[in-house]
Structure formats: structure tokens, C-alpha cells
Amino acid sequence: MPRHPRTQHLHHQHHSTQHSPDPIDVETVYQEDLVEFRYKCSICGRDRCVKVDKHGLDFYRDSGIMLRIVCPKCDGQLGPSTNEYFRHRADQMKGKPETQFDKRLKTWIPPIYQDSDEERFPQHIWKTHGSWVHGPKGLIFYGPPQCSKSRMAYQMAINQLKLGNEVRCYDPRSFRAMIERNIANKTLWDWYENDAMVPFFLLDDLGKFRGEGRRIEEEVFNFIKLRHEHKLGLVVTSNCDGNELAAMFTPSIGIPIVERLNLICKPVLVDRQLTQETELPHVVPHNADL
């Protein structure tokens, strides 16, 4: 078994000192820092046992979160994974400085979505779309409430943060506050040129923008139009299909919003009663087929 870096140093020290009055039990020191952690790999399904930092294990147990843990072999195939997130949170518990990942996680991901269990997502949706990479065609998760639409979308954002990509995530309230703040500060165009152009952008609960005011509705349309013009996809969640979503806005704005969404987002119906992805039509006027 490869020795822990600390044990390597101690092992060398022990053998290089000829007259050590109190020989150091290397294995005891090793066990002080690390403890056994038995788990089942979420990818290959095999039972594994690994030595992990006890601070990280205490955090895992005490917080009650259910992370997706994968074995080193699968971890290497997947790239940045929950294992890295596990190690990162263990470092936090040991008082290490807050990283850029920490800051962005706290800024853009609500606490309730920071520790989601991917195994509880609708797997026929997550396996197909969970690894989405930002590009000209985004996704809109729509369907009944309580089907993990928002959790999947925020987990995608977390995965992008792990890769070092910039993300922006807004719900109706935070989007309105951001627009009003930039209007008051006369910095709205600066926001469009910078924050609005990041690779990964999430609009959560789009159907709940109803009642936010015509100016906010217009800026929602302007934002979606801008993303389309720059060939930047968008991730959206909504409890509404196309007809219902268009009706949530002022008539002169609702239909154009849905039409633009159809140009930059692939509609994905999320329903736990379905076991495979469906292409059911959801048609609104003017041939917008969300």
C-alpha cells in the first residue's frame, strides 16, 4: 500500500536515526490521520474501502448529506467529480482558506441545492442531459413540481464550477433585484456585456416571473434574445409547458419569449411517472413548440 506522505517522512526519519530511544510506530501515526471508509461506487457498483481524512468523514456523517462517491478508477474516467468536492469540503473543515470555488458556490448556488444526491434524479433525464456542455443549444426542464428540475439544473451549474467555468443562476426574485439595481446604477448595459455572457446561465422557475412588471418582462426577452444572437445556450426550469408559460407574461411579450426559447433551448419533459424521455408536443401560437 502506498504510504501517506507523512508516513514516508517518518519512515525515512526512523531508519536514518541509528539511536532513537523511542521508535515511532509509523502505522499508528498513519491511523491517527486516516480512517477506513467503506462505500459502494455509484458508477461500477463495486464495494470499496479507502483510507480517508477523518475530518472529511466527520463532516460527511454529521451533515447528513448524501454525496455520489465513486472509486478512483471511475473517478479518473469522469474527471472532476463528487470525490473532489468531498475532499474540498474536508479541507474546509480543517480551516483552510476559502477557495474561489467556495466563493462562487456561496454566491450562485442556494444552500438547499449544494449537496444534492444525483442518484435521486430521474436517471433517464440526468444520464442524457446532466453532462450538458455550454453551447448554442441549451435546455429547458419543464413538467410537474417536485420532479428535481431545479436540483438537476443547479447540479449542472456546480459541475461547471468544478471545471472552472463561470456561472450565473437567478430565480425571478433575484433576477428582478439585479435588473432594478443595474437600472438605478445605470449599469444595465455593462451587465449585458459581462455577466449575461458567461458560458453557463440558469433561469430557475421561469414561469413564476408573472407579476414582476412589464419592464422586467422586457428585460427577460432582451436577455434571451442577446444569448441567441451570440450563440449562447441557456438552462431554464419551469413548471409550465409552452402555452402556459406564454400566458404568464403580457401577451405581446409572452409568445416572443417562448419562440426565442425554442430557438436556443431543447425542451425536456421531466416527470417521474415517465421512465424514458418523451417528445410529446406542447404547442403555443406562432409555431413555438415548447
What is the C-alpha to C-alpha distance for residues 38 and 202, in angstroms, rounded to an integer? Answer: 36
Q: What is the pLDDT of residue 89?
A: 57
Q: What is the pLDDT of residue 208?
A: 81
Residue 44, all three cell numbers: 461500477
Q: What topology is assigned to 122-269 in CATH?
A: Rossmann fold (3.40.50)
What is the C-alpha to C-alpha distance for residues 22 and 45, in angstroms, rounded to an integer? Answer: 45
Average the pLDDT over 116-137 and give the result. Answer: 89
Q: What is the pLDDT of residue 201?
A: 96
pLDDT tens column, 185-231: 999 999 999 999 999 999 999 888 766 678 888 898 999 999 999 99
Residue 103, pLDDT > 50, answer yes
Placement of cell 425542451 in the chain: 267
pLDDT tens column, 166-185: 999 999 889 889 998 998 99
pLDDT tens column, 41-87: 666 777 777 665 554 444 444 443 334 556 666 655 544 445 555 56
Q: Which of 18-27, 108-117, 147-156, 257-266 shows the lowest mean pLDDT across its residues?
A: 18-27
Q: What is the pLDDT of residue 216?
A: 85
Residue 269, all three cell numbers: 419533459
Average the pLDDT over 32-41 and give the result. Answer: 64
pLDDT tens column, 230-275: 999 999 999 988 888 888 888 888 899 999 999 999 999 998 776 5
Q: What is the pLDDT of residue 94?
A: 56
Identity of residue 257: I
pLDDT tens column, 276-287: 554 433 434 344
Contact 192, 229 (CB under 8 A): no
Q: What is the pLDDT of residue 227?
A: 94
Q: Please state the φ and ψ torsions of residue 92, each to the nearest 5 degrees.
A: -60, -45
Q: What is the pLDDT of residue 97?
A: 65
Farthest CA pair distance, the chain: 89
Looking at per-residue pLDDT, the higher value among 220 and 14 belongs to: 220
Q: Is the pTM of this model over 0.85?
A: no
What is the C-alpha to C-alpha distance for residues 78 and 189, in angstroms, rounded to an integer? Answer: 38
Q: What are the residue ranges of CATH 3.40.50.300 in the chain?
A: 122-269
- On the 0-12 / 13-18 / 19+ scale of CB atoms within 10 A, 69 is buried
Q: Which percentage of the chain shows pLDDT scores above 90?
A: 36
Q: What is the pLDDT of residue 39?
A: 66
Concatenating the DSSP letter of every residue in 72-116 gives HHHHHHH-S-HHHHHHHHHHHHTTPPPPHHHHHHHHHS-GGGTT-
What is the C-alpha to C-alpha distance for residues 278 and 276, in angstroms, rounded to an integer? Answer: 6
Range picked from 37-41, 113-117, 248-252 for highest mean pLDDT: 113-117
Concatenating the DSSP letter of every residue in the chain gives -PPPHHHHHHHHHHHH-TT-SS---HHHHHHHHEEEEEEE-TTT--EEEEEEEHHHHHHHHHH--------HHHHHHH-S-HHHHHHHHHHHHTTPPPPHHHHHHHHHS-GGGTT--GGGS-HHHHHHHTT---SS-EEEEESSSSSSHHHHHHHHHHHHHHTT--EEEE-HHHHHHHHHHHHHTT-HHHHHHTGGGSSEEEE--GGGGTTS-HHHHHHHHHHHHHHHHTT---EEEESS-HHHHHHTS-HHHHHHHHHHHHHHEEEEE--TT-SS-------BTTTB--
Q: What is the pLDDT of residue 289?
A: 44
Length of the chain measured in residues: 290
- Of the candidates 108, 139, 113, the residue with the CA atom closest to the CA atom of residue 125: 139
